[in-house]
Structure 1
Amino acid sequence: MTQATESPADPRADRSPHDAGWAALAGVVAGAAGLAVAELVAALVAPAASTLFAGGAAVVDAVPGWLKDFAVQWFGTNDKAVLLGSMGVVLALGAALAGWLELRRPPVGALLIGAVGVVGAMVAVLRPDATALWALPSVVGIGGAVILLRTAIAKLRPVADLRTDQGTTVDRRGFLAVTGIAAGVAVLALAGSRVVSAGASAVNAVREKISLPAAKEAAAPVPAGADLELDGLTPYLTPNPEFYRIDTALRVPQLEPADWSLEVHGLVDEPFTITWDELLALPLEEHHVTLACVSNTVGGDLIGNALWLGYPIRALLERAKPQAGADMVLSRSDDGFTAGTPLEVLQDPDRASLLAVGMNGEPLPVEHGFPARLVVPGLYGYVSATKWVTSLEVTTFDADQGYWTPRGWSALGPIKLESRIDVPRGSAAPGAVTVAGVAWAQHTGIGKVEVRADDGAWVTAELAETVGPDTWRQWRASIDLDAGDHTLAVRATDTDGLVQTEAQAPPAPDGATGWHTVQLSVG
């Protein structure tokens, strides 16, 4: 009789259930190494070409206005960290899936990671001012991730054990070695990218050595009575580190003054470009101006007041000589952001619209637009306050749109009349309770503030002094309250007699409205 031959071993027979977990780990480590290498290459080519940051910028560009508003309301100035963290989680899960697929259905996992590289490269080269080289970080980094993944997963596949000729074996020791090498690559590449990117800190070093010229037209001193100095009340001038920051830049642009210039062009008779040294040689002016974000909710804190130093945009436009028919200036940031500002606003001789270089007595902080940004009283930042500005294009609203307009926000963004209660919050003792806060009506001015408890009579508040109509104004009032729960409300009236509306409206599409109320427990 012919002896029955033993059927070949199933190649999956010796595969441990733990191998799927190891494969997922390999995917995560390979993906991390690839992104780290991409960061290193981006640091050499162009920081904005980073796979992660270019992808994040594309996400920011793609989100509709309502989603951006939701993110700012929930996360405030931490919205960028939340976005990048969420992307990290999604990429990690995707990389784990790729590892599992590469083990079970090769080469599907490698193709999945490769697709990330292709998308990353495409997104990078489509960024504003990008070149073909911007694809290099994703191609090199993610290409390396594919090689690492395939090499690691190959060690987990059962192969014939030629030493004993008995079944199959898995080279888990080799797998751990490859995975460890991948982890090492990730750490070294990330460290290398940080070393190469140390040039970013050079911009801060340059900034710290700058001595701005004195203003030819100095701002009026802040009156002694402008700050009521109550515990919990927002100060009249917002310190730079506490000033809100809402913009589209996931990576803060690093511009050295020597490399910066501003182009004034478009529908003008005499276009020109101005350098940093030429800008500082002009007669600069100081003005106190309150800036507000359109995403600020009623009672929110996306608003701040500062002393700005700069050159009148009106004078720059006069030099360029806008042509008849032009009605908008499209300002462009180094990171690609644009804002459309009414030309007549920037030409208004009674409005202190500045190409600003200084903030509260020092050069602009890097995250607030260094070396230069726009400051326009009376307009929300999304249509006026372009940071890291490099271009002013005189155009028309019919021909061009700012960044947020096609995403559902109004083309015009005049700041709404608003007021806010800062103190008290939470609880208070029975008797005379001091209620205080801030109110603003930029470029018009606050004429009156009233507060009330529950549905009682309105009580006129004491107004603090102010520099002028382009800044917010502190106020305070005293209300007698019995023990129990109360609702405090505030409303403002501007100097033209317009009373703040009670109608509640969300920030989109042109700014929130409504009376700010707080709940107070007295007892």
Structure 2
Amino acid sequence: TASRAAVRLPRPASPAQPVPAGARLAVPGISPFTTPNRDFYRVDTALVVPKVDANRWRLRLHGTGVREELTLTLRDLMARRTVERDITLACVSNEVGGPYVGNARWLGVPLADLLREAGVRPPSEGGSADQLVARSVDGMTIGTPVEDVMDGRDALLAFGMNGEPLPFEHGFPVRMVVPGLYGYVSACKWIESIELTTFDAYDAYWVPRGWAAEAPVKTQSRIDTPRPFGRPAAGTVMVAGVAWAQHRGVRRVEVRVDDGPWQEARLAAEDTRDTWRQWTYPWEAAPGRHTLTVRATDGTGATQPERRTATMPDGAQGWHSVVVTVEGGE
């Protein structure tokens, strides 16, 4: 803990843009645009959270297609060009409407810069490795497509989260963050090694356990308020929540009451296409039992499919709905 307390984060060479004023909606019960570190979801296999000594920590980059191996200290990383970005992360084990998604402001170094410095080329440029295997100090392995982390997106080796050094439970001293990919194929915490290899040559931890080797985040939307089985009063009820489709963006959110027509919700301003968006819909609620359903359309124009699927092998999909009983009225 002493080594974390001594960490002083560098000023980013490329700071995040200010969050647009219209990106944060003042609706009671809605998820905040930025998820506080204490509330950010945690899903991993660590029975005991590693307490890594930042002074002794090293990151090794090696493997197929690496012209020059690199070994870096935390001080080395922090001395490089740093960037700050708002990025929403989601877990593949998140059920439709589930809590395993959050948005934070991350500070780190672009992973693609390190890879190119080591001589790595993506497959689209003739590179021999198509998989990057990140290893954690606790032995976890996570496989990520090389093409994805080198395609221009803000894939980071992050050491800062919402203005402070990474909390221990979120990967101190360094973790990976890759917009648009589920955590189990990108978000290695407590990282200590990056090996370039191929998907044919190596299966990372989750693949033999039935999960897909590649897993882009699926478009999802969630009703935060009213809560399931809530009992709002008749009249105008603000239905609100969040929608996410990292690296594609959210174009539209629609709400349906019972079996009625889809109605377009009001979207909060977009921060970036790598962050979730809040939304609201004012519902003139009549007394009785009602089902509220939400769906989102991403930046490519693709709308969430209705049919629900399980989280395995590559993430759940389907429409989120809540049942409420409206009270009051004549």
TM-score by length of 2: 0.95
Aligned to 2:296: 492
Q: How does 1:250-265 map to 2 (within 5 A)?
A: 250-265=47-62
Matched, 1:445 2:243: no
Choose from 239, 243, 256 the match for 1:435.
Answer: 239
Choose from 40, 58, 77 the match for 1:243.
Answer: 40
Per the TM alignment, residue 432 of structure 1 is displaced from its structure 2 partner at its CA by 2.0
Per the TM alignment, residue 206 of structure 1 is displaced from its structure 2 partner at its CA by 2.3
Q: How does 1:53-202 map to 2 (within 5 A)?
A: none
Per the TM alignment, residue 231 of structure 1 is displaced from its structure 2 partner at its CA by 1.1
Which whole-Å CA distance do the structure 2 matches of 1:232 and 1:406 have between them? Answer: 39
Task: Letter of the 1:338 partner, please give it.
Answer: T
- Residue 258 of structure 1 aligns to a residue whose secondary structure is coil
Choose from 132, 135, 138 the match for 1:332.
Answer: 135
- Residue 315 of structure 1 aligns to a residue whose secondary structure is helix
Task: Letter of the 1:245 partner, please give it.
Answer: R
Which whole-Å CA distance do the structure 2 matches of 1:221 and 1:209 have between them? Answer: 28
Which whole-Å CA distance do the structure 2 matches of 1:225 and 1:365 have between them? Answer: 29
Task: Letter of the 1:390 partner, please give it.
Answer: E
Higher CA-based Rg: 1
Task: Letter of the 2:76 partner, please give it.
Answer: E
Which whole-Å CA distance do the structure 2 matches of 1:356 and 1:466 have between them? Answer: 23
Per the TM alignment, residue 430 of structure 1 is displaced from its structure 2 partner at its CA by 1.2
Matched, 1:481 2:285: yes
Matched, 1:280 2:84: no
- Residue 231 of structure 2 aligns to a residue whose secondary structure is strand
- Superimposed CA distance per residue, residues 146-174 of structure 1 (whole angstroms, 9 cap, x where no aligned partner): xxxxxxxxxxxxxxxxxxxxxxxxxxxxx
Which whole-Å CA distance do the structure 2 matches of 1:427 and 1:353 have between them? Answer: 43
Per the TM alignment, residue 383 of structure 1 is displaced from its structure 2 partner at its CA by 0.5
Structure 2 spans left out of the alignment, 5+ residues: 122-126
Instruction: List, as ranges, runs of 4+ consecutive aligned residues in structure 1 with deviation greater than 6 Å.
Output: none
- Superimposed CA distance per residue, residues 326-356 of structure 1 (whole angstroms, 9 cap, x where no aligned partner): 101000000000111000001112x000000
Per the TM alignment, residue 240 of structure 1 is displaced from its structure 2 partner at its CA by 0.2
- Superimposed CA distance per residue, residues 240-274 of structure 1 (whole angstroms, 9 cap, x where no aligned partner): 00000000111111111111111000011111111
Task: Letter of the 1:352 partner, please give it.
Answer: D
Choose from 221, 234, 240 the match for 2:18.
Answer: 221
Structure 1 spans left out of the alignment, 5+ residues: 1-203
CA RMSD after TM alignment: 0.9
- Superimposed CA distance per residue, residues 168-225 of structure 1 (whole angstroms, 9 cap, x where no aligned partner): xxxxxxxxxxxxxxxxxxxxxxxxxxxxxxxxxxxx2321232111000000011111
Aligned to 1:106: none
Which whole-Å CA distance do the structure 2 matches of 1:304 and 1:458 have between them? Answer: 27
Per the TM alignment, residue 322 of structure 1 is displaced from its structure 2 partner at its CA by 2.3
Matched, 1:411 2:213: yes
- Residue 428 of structure 1 aligns to a residue whose secondary structure is coil
Aligned to 1:422: 224
Per the TM alignment, residue 479 of structure 1 is displaced from its structure 2 partner at its CA by 1.7
- Superimposed CA distance per residue, residues 454-499 of structure 1 (whole angstroms, 9 cap, x where no aligned partner): 0001110000012100010000011222100000000000111100
- Residue 259 of structure 1 aligns to a residue whose secondary structure is coil
Aligned to 2:318: 514
| Conservation of the 8 A alpha-carbon contact between 2:3 and 2:55 | no
Which whole-Å CA distance do the structure 2 matches of 1:274 and 1:441 have between them? Answer: 33
Per the TM alignment, residue 405 of structure 1 is displaced from its structure 2 partner at its CA by 0.5
Q: How does 1:15-34 map to 2 (within 5 A)?
A: none
Aligned residue pairs, count? 319
| Conservation of the 8 A alpha-carbon contact between 2:240 and 2:279 | yes
Considering Cα pairs closer than 8 Å and 6+ residues apart, tell me whether 1 or 2 has the greater RCO: 2
Per the TM alignment, residue 305 of structure 1 is displaced from its structure 2 partner at its CA by 0.2
Per the TM alignment, residue 508 of structure 1 is displaced from its structure 2 partner at its CA by 0.6
Per the TM alignment, residue 431 of structure 1 is displaced from its structure 2 partner at its CA by 2.0
Which whole-Å CA distance do the structure 2 matches of 1:318 and 1:458 have between them? Answer: 47
Aligned to 1:299: 97
- Residue 367 of structure 1 aligns to a residue whose secondary structure is helix
Which whole-Å CA distance do the structure 2 matches of 1:418 and 1:437 have between them? Answer: 11
Aligned to 2:194: 392
Aligned to 1:176: none
Which whole-Å CA distance do the structure 2 matches of 1:288 and 1:369 have between them? Answer: 17
Which whole-Å CA distance do the structure 2 matches of 1:325 and 1:478 have between them? Answer: 53
Identity %: 55
- Superimposed CA distance per residue, residues 10-35 of structure 1 (whole angstroms, 9 cap, x where no aligned partner): xxxxxxxxxxxxxxxxxxxxxxxxxx
Which whole-Å CA distance do the structure 2 matches of 1:210 and 1:229 have between them? Answer: 34
Which whole-Å CA distance do the structure 2 matches of 1:248 and 1:456 have between them? Answer: 43
Task: Letter of the 2:143 partner, please give it.
Answer: G
